[in-house]
């Protein structure tokens, strides 16, 4: 029976290796295509097609090399260093910023090496050729990986091209980690089994995967589920000694061991791992709500809102005319909302409802049984005008909030601004939404919009509050632009 288990486990881990190697080969082909296109494209653009223009001289009299040779060597070296930095490893591709960061690090170090070699051997490489090839290469490599990521995300929704995960720990810890992994299949972890520790009752029938009991069943569970990744979720029985023994049972070449920390909604930049006396200590930066980063965010908001107001001013005039013709009432709808540190401010929008719509809100919420939730959202709202429905679907009604951003009461990206009546229903967790300025857009805008429940909206807002970054803001704004141009069916 032991031999059979080993054979089954080898087949499972072999399958993981197969998809990883297949994907790595495909990425190698696209990387080569990108590098050939970029490097030779820069060479032709810089020197032209005349071979007399593409020879360079070094300090040695006999050195006269064609730039085409330099391009071939550069492409080969670039491909190799991308492999050295494991940018095509199955463990880093497909999710998170690590893949992109490794590509950038490898590329910069390669060109640093080229600069050192050129200096030591007095080789006069054309600076423009190098300075253009580097950023273009990084940009198009990352773009190609992003395109692959879109394809890979679709495959991972159905469990393909993913690590097959066996969760080990107490039922509560396993259930929590399982739910988080199921929420994000694009990360590449497909749960195929659970091994519960402790003295819990019979495994619940609602568990979506096979459930095993006790640490002694880990070997059998790995074999029967064909798992290639063992994830330690946590529990009283998972002492350091027991976790160490579990690691001894794994094939290091084809199987992974992952130890899950009891942390959720913490972004990678806030986490640093430091081994101390043989212990892998995890340092988690506590969120800060002042300092240079927030000054940078304000400058970004100020410049961004001013530029957008100038560029969109013709559209503002057109939308104002459309709202005016939609029926009686003001063009700009003004409403008091709660902002940073619970301070009220006046928010501006293009009017999308009939006049005096606010007076009907309480009655509509009571009819739908939603008056006790801190998210006043009316389904099939009868107050919305036909023009207003179009404005809301494409988020055009929110454009006047650019002036809120310009004057400092809002940010381009942040939590959803809410009414005072909603804020009074906040619990302690929801109060943390008020630690940063509310935003025109946010994770709620690109994560589901009107279809989100209060719990999901709060989870996204709290994640943003504690993990925001300027790069993250730019990504959210880009996704917002796509949502405005092509809103999904959840937008209304």
d(CA 274, CA 402): 43
Query: What stretch of H or E contains 306?
Result: helix 292-325
Q: Which pLDDT does position 60 carry in this prediction?
A: 40
d(CA 483, CA 393): 9
Q: Which pLDDT does position 58 carry in this prediction?
A: 47
SS3 384: strand
- Minimum mean pLDDT range among 33-37, 329-333, 355-359: 355-359
Q: Which pLDDT does position 462 carry in this prediction?
A: 85
DSSP 29: H
Instruction: Give the rounded distance of the alpha carbon of 396 from its chain centre.
Output: 25
- Of residues 207 and 214, the one with the higher pLDDT is 214
Q: Which pLDDT does position 13 carry in this prediction?
A: 43
362-402 confidence digits (pLDDT tens): 666 666 555 555 555 656 666 778 888 888 888 888 899 99
**Closest listed residue to residue 47, CA positions, set 138, 121, 133:** 133
Q: Which pLDDT does position 6 carry in this prediction?
A: 42
What's the pTM? 0.66
Residues 6+ apart with CB under 8 A from 372: 425
Sequential DSSP letters for 37-96: HHHHHHHHHHH-S-GGGSEEEBSSTT-EEEHHHHHHHHHHHHHHHHHHTTTT-TTTTTSS
- Of residues 273 and 338, the one with the higher pLDDT is 338
Q: How far is CA 286 from CA 234, 403, 469, in A?
A: 23, 32, 14
Q: Which pLDDT does position 371 carry in this prediction?
A: 52
Phi-psi region of 318 (alpha: psi -120 to 50; beta: other; left: phi over 0): alpha
- The structure tokens listed for 100 are 């992109």
- Of residues 39 and 357, the one with the higher pLDDT is 39
Q: Which fold has domain 163-262?
A: Rossmann fold (3.40.50)
- Reported as a pLDDT band with limits 50, 70 and 90, residue 489 is low
What is the pLDDT averaged over residues 213-240? 86
What is the pLDDT averaged over residues 333-346? 90
The β-bridge partners of 196 are 169, 213
Q: Which pLDDT does position 52 carry in this prediction?
A: 45
Q: Which pLDDT does position 9 carry in this prediction?
A: 44
Domain ranges of the chain: 2-156, 163-262, 292-485
- Of residues 349 and 45, the one with the higher pLDDT is 349
**Closest listed residue to residue 492, CA positions, set 376, 389, 415, 418:** 389
Torsion 189-191-193-197 (CA) sign? positive
The β-bridge partners of 353 are 384
pLDDT at 35 over 90: yes
- Reported as a pLDDT band with limits 50, 70 and 90, residue 206 is low
250-295 confidence digits (pLDDT tens): 876 678 888 877 666 676 667 777 776 666 677 777 777 777 778 8
- Reported as a pLDDT band with limits 50, 70 and 90, residue 170 is confident
- Minimum mean pLDDT range among 154-163, 181-190, 282-291, 409-418: 282-291
Mean pLDDT of the chain: 80
pLDDT at 28 over 90: yes
pLDDT at 145 over 70: yes
What is the pLDDT averaged over residues 176-180? 85
Query: How many distinct helices (H) and strands (E) make up the chain?
Result: 16, 13
What is the pLDDT averaged over residues 45-72? 58
pLDDT at 469 over 80: yes
- Of residues 488 and 79, the one with the higher pLDDT is 79
Torsion 217-219-223-228 (CA) sign? positive
What is the pLDDT averaged over residues 318-323? 91
Q: Return phi, psi of residue 417, to 5°.
A: -70, 130
What is the pLDDT averaged over residues 293-312? 92
The β-bridge partners of 195 are 168, 212
- Of residues 50 and 452, the one with the higher pLDDT is 452
What is the pLDDT averaged over residues 23-32? 93
Q: Which pLDDT does position 376 carry in this prediction?
A: 55
102-115 confidence digits (pLDDT tens): 999 999 999 889 88
**Closest listed residue to residue 196, CA positions, set 180, 178, 206, 211:** 211
Q: Cβ(78)–Cβ(140) under 8 Å?
A: no
What is the pLDDT averaged over residues 416-440? 85
Q: Which pLDDT does position 130 carry in this prediction?
A: 80
pLDDT at 57 over 60: no
pLDDT at 406 over 90: yes
């Amino acid at each position: 029976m032991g031999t059979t288990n080993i054979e089954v486990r080898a087949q499972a881990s072999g399958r993981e290796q197969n998809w990883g190697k297949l994907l790595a080969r495909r990425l190698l082909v696209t990387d080569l295509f990108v590098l050939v296109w970029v490097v030779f494209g820069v060479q032709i653009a810089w020197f032209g097609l005349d071979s007399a223009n593409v020879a360079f001289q070094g300090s040695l009299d006999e050195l006269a090399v064609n730039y085409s040779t330099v391009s071939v060597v550069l492409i080969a070296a670039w491909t190799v260093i991308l492999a050295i930095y494991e940018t095509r490893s199955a463990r880093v591709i497909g999710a998170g910023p690590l893949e992109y960061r490794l590509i950038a690090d490898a590329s910069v170090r390669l060109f640093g090496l080229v600069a050192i070699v050129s200096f030591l051997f007095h080789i006069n490489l054309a600076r423009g050729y190098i300075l253009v090839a580097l950023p273009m290469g990084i940009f198009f490599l990352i773009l190609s990986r992003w395109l692959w990521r879109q394809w890979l995300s679709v495959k991972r929704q159905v469990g393909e091209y993913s690590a097959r995960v066996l969760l080990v720990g107490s039922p509560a810890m396993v259930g929590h980690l399982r739910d988080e992994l199921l929420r994000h299949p694009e990360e590449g972890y497909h749960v195929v089994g659970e091994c519960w520790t402790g003295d819990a009752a019979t495994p619940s029938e609602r568990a979506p995967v096979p459930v095993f009991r006790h640490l002694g069943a880990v070997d059998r569970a790995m074999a029967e589920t064909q798992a290639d990744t063992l994830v330690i979720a946590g529990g009283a029985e998972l002492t350091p000694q027991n976790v160490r023994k579990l690691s001894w049972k794994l094939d290091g070449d084809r199987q992974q061991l992952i130890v899950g920390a009891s942390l959720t909604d913490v972004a990678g930049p806030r986490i640093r791992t430091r081994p101390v006396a043989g212990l892998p200590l995890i340092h988690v930066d506590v969120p800060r709500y002042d300092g240079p980063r927030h000054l940078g965010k304000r400058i970004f908001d100020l410049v961004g809102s001013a530029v957008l107001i100038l560029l969109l001013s013709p559209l503002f005039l057109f939308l104002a005319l459309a709202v005016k013709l939609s029926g009686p009432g003001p063009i700009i709808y003004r409403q008091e909302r709660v902002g940073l540190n619970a301070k009220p401010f006046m928010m501006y929008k293009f009017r999308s409802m009939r006049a005096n719509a606010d007076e009907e809100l309480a009655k509509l919420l009571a009819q739908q049984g939603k008056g006790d939730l801190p998210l006043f959202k009316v389904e099939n709202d009868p107050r919305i005008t036909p023009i207003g429905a179009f404005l809301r679907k494409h988020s055009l009604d929110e454009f006047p909030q650019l002036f809120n951003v310009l004057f400092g009461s809002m940010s381009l990206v942040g939590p959803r601004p809410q009414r005072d009546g909603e804020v009074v229903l906040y619990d302690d967790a929801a109060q943390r939404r008020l630690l940063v300025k509310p935003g025109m857009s946010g994770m709620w805008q690109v994560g589901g919009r009107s279809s989100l429940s209060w719990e999901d909206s709060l989870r996204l807002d709290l994640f943003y509050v504690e993990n925001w970054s300027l790069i993250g803001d730019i990504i959210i704004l880009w996704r917002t632009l796509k949502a405005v141009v092509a809103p999904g069916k959840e937008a209304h």
